[in-house]
């Protein structure tokens, strides 16, 4: 049975819409996918930014820190101001930071932007789960959380494949050179 349903998703007891699964699943996955899809590009990013591999790996660490700290901040903010405003701020921050990461000209700039990207991505991770808790309960919520875990679990397998196919078509150094 739906709790606190404000008309966002039409749910009936024991049933979850495909739209809800897709939206909540995407929100849950986009933060962690920003880590997994990034891994195949690390050597090219290192070469393009003329940075040590360890420096480029710091961008992964900063993203993970952003995801961890961001969940604390976004969770508290969504409890205080509602789900929508912090979620929208997080999505905008994630998208803006992602674009800025693609345009980064130094490894230190990339590291800072990946922190912001993690902070923004964390909003989707934590608020999507809070929305499920708000809308569903009992066995329906348990099944929905199981489906979310399945989506989250397939991300690390699919993301590097997707990124690798993008890298075949457009590599980081070619992209950087085309901007000059």
47 against 163, higher pLDDT: 47
**Structure pTM?**
0.79
H-only helix segments in 9-106? 18-36, 42-48, 53-81, 84-102
85 against 43, higher pLDDT: 85
Q: Residue 114 above 70 pLDDT?
A: yes
The pLDDT of residue 36: 77
Residue 152 C-beta-side C-alpha neighbours within 13 Å: 16
pLDDT tens-place string over residues 6-39: 444 444 544 568 888 888 988 888 877 888 777 7
In angstroms, the CA 97 to CA 63 distance is 11
The pLDDT of residue 117: 96
**What is the sign of the dihedral through the CA atoms of 163, 69, 75 and 137?**
positive
pLDDT tens-place string over residues 40-71: 788 888 888 999 999 999 999 999 999 999 99
What is residue 168's DSSP assignment? H
The pLDDT of residue 41: 81
The pLDDT of residue 6: 44
| Domains of the chain: residue spans and CATH | 30-174 (1.20.1250.20)
Give per-residue burial for 112-126: e unless 16+ CB within 10 Å, then b.
bbbbbbbbbbbbbbb
Instruction: Report CA-CA distances (Å) from 50 to 45, 80, 154.
Output: 8, 44, 33
The pLDDT of residue 40: 78
Within 10 angstroms of residue 175's Cβ, the number of other Cβ atoms is 13
Q: Residue 176 above 60 pLDDT?
A: no
The pLDDT of residue 165: 64
Percent of the chain scoring above 90 in pLDDT: 46
């Amino acid at each position: 049975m739906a709790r606190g349903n404000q008309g966002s998703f039409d749910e009936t007891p024991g049933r979850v819409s495909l739209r809800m699964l897709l939206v909540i699943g995407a929100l849950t996955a986009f933060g962690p996918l920003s880590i997994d899809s990034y891994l195949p590009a690390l050597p090219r990013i290192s070469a393009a930014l003329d940075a040590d591999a360890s420096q480029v790996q710091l961008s992964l660490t900063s993203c993970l820190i952003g995801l961890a700290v961001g969940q604390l901040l976004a969770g508290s903010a969504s409890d205080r101001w509602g789900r929508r405003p912090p979620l929208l701020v997080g999505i905008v921050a994630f998208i803006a930071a992602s674009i800025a990461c693609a345009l980064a000209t130094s490894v230190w700039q990339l590291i800072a932007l990946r922190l912001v990207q993690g902070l923004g991505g964390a909003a989707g991770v934590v608020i999507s789960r809070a929305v499920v808790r708000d809308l569903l309960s009992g066995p329906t919520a348990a099944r929905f959380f199981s489906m979310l875990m399945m989506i989250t679990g397939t991300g690390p397998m699919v993301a590097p494949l997707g990124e690798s196919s993008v890298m075949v078509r457009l590599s980081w150094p070619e992209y950087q050179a085309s901007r000059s």
